[in-house]
Amino acid sequence: MTVSLIQTDVAQDEKFSTLHLPQAMEWLAQALQQTRGELTIAPETAIPLLPAQLDPAYWQRVASPFRDGRRAALIGLPLGSYEAGYTNSVAGLTLESAALPGGFYRYDKQHLVPFGEFVPYGFRWFVDMMNIPLGDFSRGPLAAPSFEMRQTEGTLQRIAPNICYEDLFGEELAVRFADAASAPTVLANVSNIGWFGDTIAVAQHLNISRMRALEFERPMLRATNTGATAVIDHRGRAAASLPPFTRGVLESEVQGRSGATPFARWAATFGLWPLIAMAAVVTASAALRSRRRNNAAP
């Protein structure tokens, strides 16, 4: 499958600036129209506004290239309303998705960051005082359905999105492999770690994604704001990437895969409990041996 991964490179202090936002939105619209891949992915909050806040003509520019049946897209943006609550989400656009509620497939982030994305118990007063409506997102489902797209030759790809550091939690991604018939063929991470600037976070997050690719033997597509935007194969190797902190589009290819690793099978059923139980047994055995040696000492 040919893929186009967009790296927007918008500094965090410019992301919501009325001075810089129009130019960033215009560049994104042009990039989405010009990408060549069967699947195009734009990063987390690539569109930092709710659909209701967008000019309908702008959304038409964004969505129309993916309604011809030949291409599809995953685009990060917030969704929801003040009454229904907000979500940190990914919208999926295909010819078929035009008939869905809202006109697109939807993935809502499930593993939220305290204070950044949800308000811990007892701190609601702080968000109310600061009047930050997007400071408290709602959680999406853990066992989220994949984004399905059919290639021109008829192959069905199931892309499983995850947002930002959700790919740190392999046991949570494993839930999507419980049913082999609907298991993802490709993983896709959309991120904005511009919060951390030019730090080790870029390389760290790339290696986290590489580990998930190894655990599930699935390729991982990474479309990020500042990096690392990359195609990771099923063996955890970065097959193609963009330099961090640059604006551009990575045009590459990826091979979807089926089947399930042993980790995917038992983590989908038991989570991390087998590892926890094993660690408890090892710890208890070591403590027991130590106690016996102490009791045997003269």
164 is catalytic: yes
117 is catalytic: no
What tokens were used for 238? 């970065």
What tokens were used for 248? 């551009």
Q: Nearest 5°: phi and psi at 60?
A: -60, -40
CA nearest to 204, candidates 193, 219, 217, 216: 193
Active-site hit among 15, 26, 38, 44: 44
Strand partners, 54: none
Active-site hit among 38, 109, 117, 172: 109
* Cβ atoms of residues 26 and 58 within 8 Å: no
CA 254 to chain CA centroid, nearest Å = 17
Amino acid identity of residue 87, one-letter, is T
- Measured CA to CA, the distance from residue 134 to residue 85 in angstroms comes to 9
Work out the end-to-end distance of the chain between its first and last CA atoms, rounded to an integer number of angstroms.
70
- Measured CA to CA, the distance from residue 106 to residue 72 in angstroms comes to 13
Active-site hit among 38, 117, 164, 215: 164
What tokens were used for 110? 């499930």
38 is catalytic: no
The catalytic residues are 44, 109, 164
